[in-house]
Amino acid sequence: MKVKVLIPGVLRAATDGAAHLDVEVPDPATLGAALDVLADTYPQLDRRLRDERAALRRYVNFYVNGEECRRLAGPATPLPSGAEIQILPSVAGG
Amino acid sequence: MTVVVAIGTRKGLWLARSEDRVSWQVDGPHHAMQEVYAVAFDARAGLRLMAGVSSPHFGPGVSISDDLGATWEESSTPPIAFPVDDAALERVWQLQPAPASQPGVVWAGTQPSALFRSSDGGRSFEFVEGLWNHPHRPEWEAGFGGQAVHTIVPDPVDPDRMLVAMSTGGVYRTADGGKSWEARNKGIKAYFFPDPWPEFGQCVHKVAQHPASPSRFYAQNHHGVYRSDDGGDTWQSIAEGLPTDFGFAMVVHPHDPDTIFTFPIEADGRRFPPEGKCRVYRSQDAGATWQALGEGLPDDFWTAVMRDALCTDDADVPGVYFGSRSGEVYASPDEGETWHRVAAHLPDVMSVRAVVIPT
């Protein structure tokens, strides 16, 4: 199925400037599966979103249709067809 | 002569350039908002600048510049990655080019405590399993700054020999290229344990060596300043004559194995220079006696100098450099006799390295 991923400005150097990407995710479609597909094309983006164990970086938030994935099932969050994944750095630091 | 000083901070890297080591031009930030705990110049082939960078949001990596910071290159895949299920790279604490006889070899020390080896000049690294699999590893503790291999001292001649250090784990040594490691902390006190003389667990802050004296090491500890004359087998205190035995940094003069520099800090519980006076201490007799060096350095300096924020260049008359948690950087053009301010109001300085540009 196809989902849409919104890329924050600070990470667009890793997507050749793209602000959003349409991603074809195989079944069963989950957030983690969508990120796996993205990683094949954009490894530079992936290493900023996930560590080498494919764990989501702590201070990056992934909203699936407006709901932060950690309040859902994390990387295992199922994606409905046409889902919108919004990636946003969390408010942190000083 | 042109000297460039790389200044790694908690929010990016600055580069200072000088013809006389007195007046400086500073540019930056490079890698803005990224922690730069490790920085290294590799002058073995051309001049490469390497930085261990870490974004609090987007994770750690290694960035390379072959044109002194005009452009940077970072691999698309993680250059350092743990091939195990129970760890992921948090931060690069040390980047150490190997001796000139091993071109392309660069060592990286990481948090969590592990060692990685690059054979392509720092573009990609391989995990050194021998240290990770050491039976002591589960008992290495996280210090205040995290559990990390922060010091790597490759033997100047034998590529199979190396010493590493970590806080609170201590000194370890290999003689077989990293396959096996032995703790080497005899004589180093760990006052914070019920048994203050354990085999390992010492809080070593920095170890330094001169290539002409490969069996001699100097160590600045979390309380304790030591020298070993037998390759790390045993350590003797050289703290007498210093105002305090606490500190982070330890640097050897590039041309004299008997001359060392450190930046004493009052105590674990008072992390300021003694009386708030900014002073580098130098010994020219391998730690037997010490001199305070402060001409041009301030009083009322209520900050500290971290383990990799003191260094020298390798000019005939070497320059000495340090940066502070308060974002000030000082340089001495004359082996520490006089000092000049390079920069102020930077973020916390974590790492400083200097190089004379080859002509």
A21 touches chain B (CB under 8 A): no
Identify the pLDDT of residue A91: 84
Contact A57 B85 (CB under 8 A): no
| Residue B325 Cα distances to B9, B104, B107, B166, B329, angstroms | 9, 32, 26, 21, 10
Closest to A48 in 3D by CA, of B184, B61, B16 = B61
Query: Which residues form the domain of A29?
Result: 2-89
Residue B82 near chain A (CB below 8 Å): yes
> Could you read off the pLDDT tens digit of each residue along chain B, which spans 359 residues?
999 999 999 999 999 999 999 999 999 999 999 999 999 999 998 999 999 999 999 999 999 999 999 999 998 889 999 999 999 999 999 999 999 999 999 999 999 999 999 999 999 999 999 999 999 999 998 766 789 999 999 999 999 999 999 988 999 999 999 999 999 999 999 999 999 999 999 999 999 999 999 999 999 999 999 999 999 999 999 999 999 999 999 999 999 999 999 999 999 999 999 999 999 999 999 999 999 999 999 999 999 999 999 999 999 999 999 999 999 999 999 999 999 999 999 999 999 999 999 77
Distance from CA of A65 to the nearest CA of B (A): 22
Nearest to A57 among B57, B74, B83 (CB): B57
Chain B positions touching A43 (Cβ under 8 A) are 76-77
Residues of chain B by 3-state class (helix, strand, coil), percent to 5: 5, 40, 55
- Chain B residues in contact with A57 by the CB 8 A cut-off are 57-59
Whether A57 is covered by a domain: the verdict is yes
B77 near A CB under 8 A: yes
Which pLDDT score, from 0 to 100, does residue B45 have?
83
Domain B3-356: CATH class, spelled out? mainly beta
**Do B58 and A55 make contact, defined as CB atoms within 8 angstroms?**
no
Contacts B71 to A, Cβ<8 Å: none
- CB half-sphere exposure, A59, CA atoms < 13 A: 12
pTM: 0.96
Q: Is B191 on the interface with A (CB under 8 A)?
A: no
Chain A residues near residue B10 by CB distance under 8 angstroms? none
For B9-49, what is each residue's pLDDT tens digit? 999 999 999 999 999 999 999 999 999 999 999 999 899 99
> CA neighbours within 13 Å on the CB side: how many for B120?
9
Put simply, the answer to whether B88 touches A51 (Cβ < 8 Å) is: yes
**Alpha carbon of B305: minimum distance to chain A alpha carbons (Å):** 21
CA angle, B174 then B176 then B179, to 5°: 80
- For residue A81, being part of any structural domain is answered with yes
User: Are the Cβ atoms of B76 and A11 closer than 8 angstroms?
Assistant: no
CB-based burial label for A4 (10 Å; 0-12, 13-18, 19+): middle
Q: Do the interacting molecules here have an ipTM over 0.95?
A: no
Looking at the complex, does the CB of residue A16 fall below 8 Å from at least one CB of chain B? no
At residue B208, φ and ψ (nearest 5 deg) are -135, 155
Structural domain contains residue A14? yes
Query: Alpha-carbon distance B200 to A92, whole Å?
Result: 36
- The nearest alpha carbon in chain A to B80 belongs to A52
Nearest Cα residue in chain A from B91: A51
**pLDDT in the model for residue B188:** 96
Structural domain count of chain A? 1
pLDDT for the residue numbered A92: 74
Using CB atoms within 10 A of its CB, is residue B41 exposed (0-12), middle (13-18) or buried (19+)? buried
- With residue B294 as reference, give the H or E element that holds it: none
- Cβ contacts of B78 on chain A, cutoff 8 Å: 47, 52
Contact (CB, 8 A) for B216 and B227: yes
Q: Is the dihedral of CA B98, B104, B107, B111 positive or negative?
A: positive
Q: Which residues of B touch A40 (CB under 8 A)?
A: none
Residues B250/B206, Cβ–Cβ less than 8 Å: yes
Determine the Cα–Cα distance for residues B241 and B251; give it in Å rounded to an integer: 17
pLDDT score at B41: 98
CATH assignment at residue A51: 3.10.20.30
The helix (H) or strand (E) run that includes residue A36 is: helix A31-41
Q: Smallest CA–CA separation between B81 and chain A, in Å?
A: 6
Residues of A within 8 A of B81 (CB-CB) are 52
The residue to which tokens 């989950």 are assigned: A30
- Average confidence score pLDDT of chain A: 95
Q: Yes or no: say if B5 and B321 are a contact pair by the CB < 8 Å rule.
A: yes
Sign of the four-CA dihedral A21, A63, A53, B11: positive
B38, A71 Cβ separation under 8 angstroms: no
Cα–Cα distance between B23 and B41 in angstroms, integer?
21
Q: At residue A61, does pLDDT exceed 80? A: yes
Q: Is residue A94 part of a domain?
A: no
Say if CB B31 and CB B63 are below 8 A apart: yes
Q: Tell me the pLDDT tens digit for each residue of B123-169.
A: 999 999 999 999 999 999 876 678 999 999 999 999 999 999 998 89
Measured between alpha carbons, how far is residue B242 from residues B141, B206, B216, B279, B288 in Å?
Answer: 28, 17, 20, 11, 10
